[in-house]
Structure 1
C-alpha cells in the first residue's frame, strides 16, 4: 500500500500561487474567490471586459440595406433643383418672389406624410417583419417619383408627394434592421455606411433633378413633342426605375432580421453550445444567455421614456439638427434661384444641380473619415464639431448675395468663389453629424428591447421637423424678401439663432455605452 508523503511548505505555496492565478483569470470565480461548483461549459481563460473583438459585418445584407436606404433621399431631394422653375412654367404663380411658399409646401408635405406613417410602418414591421414593409413602401416611393414630373396642376403635385411621403415611414424598419445586424464593436462602420448611402441618394437625386430637367434643351434625342410637353418627367422616371430595380434586388438578397424569428435560432444556439468545448462558442453562448435574461419583458413608449436618462435632451438636439439641415436643403436652391436683386444668386437649374452635386461628393469624401473620427474622438465630440459649423454656414449666405451684387466681377470674383466654396465645404462637413447621432441613439437605449421604440421616437422627431422646416424656411425667406424685413435677412437671423443653441445644447449630453451594445452578435455568422 502506497503512503502519501506529507506536503512541504514550498509545495503548498507553489500550489497556492497556481490556484490564485487560475482564480484570477477564470470567469467562474469572482475576484479571486473560489466557487464550490464549476461550470465546465465556461472557458478557462476570461475575456477582459474592455477587450472588444470586432464582429465581422454581414456585407451582403448591409449592401442591400444601404441601397434601399438611398431611395427615399433620392426621391425627396429630386425636385429641389427644378421645382421652383416648374411652378413658374406650369403657371401656378407668375412672380418668382412668390415661388418659395408653394415649393415649401411641396417639400414639407413629403416629410409630413412620412411623419404620419412612421408609427404604422413600425407596427407593421413588428407584426409582418422588416423585409416586406421595406420593399412595399420602397415600391410606393418609386411610383410617386415617376408620376411627379407629369404634373400640370398643383393638386396633382401635392398628391404624388403625399404618396411618396406616405411610404417614407419605412425608415424606422430600415434603422432597426441595421441595429439588429450590428453590435457595439462594428456599429461605427455600419452607421457610416448607412449615412453615406443616404448622402449618395441625395448625391444622385439632386443632379438627376437638375441636369435631366428640360432634356429637350440639352440632348437632341429628347427634342420631341412628348418631352417638350413634359420637360420635368425624365428625372422622376429615371429615379423611379432605379428604385424599382433596388426593390427586386432586395426581394432576392435581403434576409429577414425580425427578432422573434431570430430569437428561436439564438435559443437553439444557446442550448446546443453546452456540449461544445470551443472557447469561442462558449463565450457566444454566455453573451446570448445574458442578453436574453437582461432584455426580457415587453416595452412601452411611456416606460422607455421614463427609464432612459437623457432621452429628451437627445431628441431635442436631433430636432435642432434636422431643422437646420432640412432648412438648408430647402433654402439653398431657393436662394440660388432667386434673382440677385431680390436677395439671391440668380442661378439656373443646371447650375444649382452642379453645386449640390459637388457638395454631395465632397460630403461623401468626408464621410469616409467618419469611422476613424468616431472611434478616435467618440460620437459626442464629432457631433459637437459638426454642429459648430451650422451658424457660420447660414451666416455666410447673405455675404454671398452682397458679393454677387458688388460692382466689378460679381459672381466671377475671387472673393465670391472663395466664400461660396467655404459655405459648401462647411455644409458638407456637417454631414459628420448623421453617423454620430445615429450611434448616440443606439447607445442611449438601455436594453435591446427598447431600441426599436427609441429609433421610432428619433425618426418621429426627425420627420416632424422635416415636415415643417422647408415650408417654414422658404415661406420666411419669401416673406422677408417681399416685405424687406431686416433687410431681407430675417431667415438668416432666425436660423443662426437656432443653430447657435443647437451647438451649445450637446454639451448637456454624455457619452453612454450600455452593456448590451458591447456584446457581440451570437445569433448569426457574417455572409
Structure 2
C-alpha cells in the first residue's frame, strides 16, 4: 500500500515529522563518523559545501515528491551525505578557545532557533499561497514546491558565502609548511580506541542524557497539547500549539542572546549545565498538575501560568547544549581527536533520535490506556531518567578547557 501514490499531498505531509526524526537520524548514524574523519583529511570546508549541496537537492526533492518512498529516499539521501550537523561544531571549536567557546555555541543555537522559526513561517505561509498566487497547475500538483524552492535559494546563498568567505579550520589545512612526520602526528584521524577514556565517556554520556530529555520534550509536548483533556491532553487547536511553541522559541532566543554569556561567566559551565538538566524535572512534574487543573476547572489562567512556568526547562535544555558542546571539545585527548569525539557523540544522539520519540509517545499511550499511575506513568519514568542524568552531570570536570589549551596557559 505504501508504494502507491498518495491521494493528496496532505496525506504525504503527515509522514514528514516521522521521516525527519527517524529516517534522517538513521542515516546520520551511519554517515556522521566517516564524514567527520574525512573532514580531518580533506578539510572542513569541502564537507560543509557538500552538506549544503545535498540539503539543497534534498529539499527540492521533497517539494517534488508525490509518493511515500520518494519522500523517504530524500531524507535518507540527506542523512547519508550531509555532515554539517557535526562538522559545523568542529569549525566552531577550532575557531575559538575556552574564553569565548560557550558564547560562540550560544550564537550557533540562536541562529539555529531563528532558522527553525523562519522555516516554519516559510513552509506554512507559502504552501497556502502557492496554488492561489500563481494559479499554475504545477503548483497545484506540488503545493510544497514553492516553500522548498525558497529554502533552496537560502541554502544556495549560504553555499556561496561559505565558498568565498569561510577560512579552512581543519588542522591539516592550516599547519603550513611542516615536516611530513610532524604533520602526520597532528592531523590524521586517531583510532577510535583513543576515545575510550573517562573524560570522553562522561562528556558523551552527558550529551546523550540531554539529547534524551530534549527528544522526549519534542515528542511529547505537541502530543499532550493536542490530545483531548479527557485522555490526558490539553485539547489545544493547531494554532494555539503553534503560538505556545513559537513563544517558547522566541524566549529561548532572547535568553541565549542576552543572558547566556553572563550566566556562564558567573556560574561556570559545570554548575549551569547541572541546573539545566535538573530543571527538566520541573516540566515532567508540571504537566500532570496542569492537566488536572484543565480537567477540573477548564482551560483558564491557571493553565496558562503553568505553561509559562514550563518555559524555564524548555529554555534551559537549549542553553544546556551550549555548555555540553564545550565539554565535548574539552574532553578530546588531543586536538586531532576533537572531531572524532564530536562525531561519536552525534552517532549516539542519532540512535536516540530514532528510538526516543517512538518510545516516549508509546509510553504516553500505554500509560493512559492502562491507567498506570493515573495515566501519568510516562512522566514518572522520564523524571527518573532526569534524576539519573543530573547525577551523571555531577561527574563533569570543573575545568572545561581542552588539554592542549590548559598546557598553553
Please tell me the TM-score bracket, short chain as reference. Answer: 0.7 to 0.9
**Structure number with bigger Rg:** 1
- In structure 2, relative to structure 1, the CA distance for the partners of 1:295 and 1:161 (3 Å cut) is closer
> Deviation per CA, 1:354-387, whole angstroms, max 9, x where unpaired?
3222111111111122222222221111101111
Separation in structure 1 between the aligned mates of residue 277 and residue 285 of structure 2, nearest angstrom: 14
Per mean C-alpha deviation after superposition, the further-off stretch among 337-346 and 381-390 is 337-346
Give the drift of 1:390.
0.8
The equivalent residue for 1:435 is 322
Instruction: State whether structure 2 residue 64 is matched by structure 1 residue 177.
Output: no
Unaligned 5+ residue runs, structure 1? 1-85, 94-98, 269-290, 522-527
Instruction: State whether structure 2 residue 214 is matched by structure 1 residue 325.
Output: yes
- In structure 2, relative to structure 1, the CA distance for the partners of 1:159 and 1:340 (3 Å cut) is farther
The equivalent residue for 1:351 is 240
* 1:398-413 superposed matches below 5 A: 398-407=288-297, 410-411=298-299, 413=300
Instruction: State whether structure 2 residue 190 is matched by structure 1 residue 299.
Output: yes
Instruction: State whether structure 2 residue 111 is matched by structure 1 residue 111.
Output: no
Deviation beyond 6 Å, 4+ runs, structure 1: 86-89, 222-225, 291-294
- In structure 2, relative to structure 1, the CA distance for the partners of 1:179 and 1:330 (3 Å cut) is same
Instruction: State whether structure 2 residue 170 is matched by structure 1 residue 258.
Output: yes
Separation in structure 2 between the aligned mates of residue 213 and residue 343 of structure 1, nearest angstrom: 34
Give the drift of 1:121.
0.9
Instruction: State whether structure 2 residue 56 is matched by structure 1 residue 142.
Output: yes
Alignment RMSD, CA only? 3.4
> Deviation per CA, 1:423-446, whole angstroms, max 9, x where unpaired?
123211322201110111122223
The equivalent residue for 2:202 is 313
Give the drift of 1:246.
1.3
Give the drift of 1:465.
1.8
Instruction: State whether structure 2 residue 12 is matched by structure 1 residue 121.
Output: no
- In structure 2, relative to structure 1, the CA distance for the partners of 1:321 and 1:371 (3 Å cut) is same
Instruction: State whether structure 2 residue 275 is matched by structure 1 residue 416.
Output: no
- In structure 2, relative to structure 1, the CA distance for the partners of 1:150 and 1:335 (3 Å cut) is farther
- TM-score after normalising by structure 2: 0.85
* Matched pairs, number: 400
Give the drift of 1:496.
1.6
Separation in structure 2 between the aligned mates of residue 124 and residue 348 of structure 1, nearest angstrom: 46
Separation in structure 1 between the aligned mates of residue 146 and residue 96 of structure 2, nearest angstrom: 38
Conservation of the 8 A alpha-carbon contact between 2:228 and 2:235:
yes
Structure 2 SS opposite 1:511: coil
Conservation of the 8 A alpha-carbon contact between 1:294 and 1:447:
no
Between structures 1 and 2, the one with greater helix share:
2
Structure 2 SS opposite 1:185: coil
* 1:75-474 superposed matches below 5 A: 90-91=10-11, 103-104=17-18, 106-148=20-62, 151-209=65-123, 211-212=124-125, 215-216=128-129, 221=133, 230=142, 232-264=144-176, 299-305=190-196, 308-368=197-257, 369-407=259-297, 410-411=298-299, 413-474=300-361
Give the drift of 1:214.
5.5
Conservation of the 8 A alpha-carbon contact between 1:184 and 1:518:
no
Conservation of the 8 A alpha-carbon contact between 1:206 and 1:357:
no
- In structure 2, relative to structure 1, the CA distance for the partners of 1:309 and 1:142 (3 Å cut) is same
Conservation of the 8 A alpha-carbon contact between 1:207 and 1:353:
no
Unaligned 5+ residue runs, structure 2? 1-5
Give the drift of 1:419.
0.6
- TM-score after normalising by structure 1: 0.67
Separation in structure 2 between the aligned mates of residue 334 and residue 223 of structure 1, nearest angstrom: 35
Give the drift of 1:103.
4.9
- In structure 2, relative to structure 1, the CA distance for the partners of 1:331 and 1:146 (3 Å cut) is farther
- In structure 2, relative to structure 1, the CA distance for the partners of 1:500 and 1:231 (3 Å cut) is farther
Conservation of the 8 A alpha-carbon contact between 2:26 and 2:354:
yes
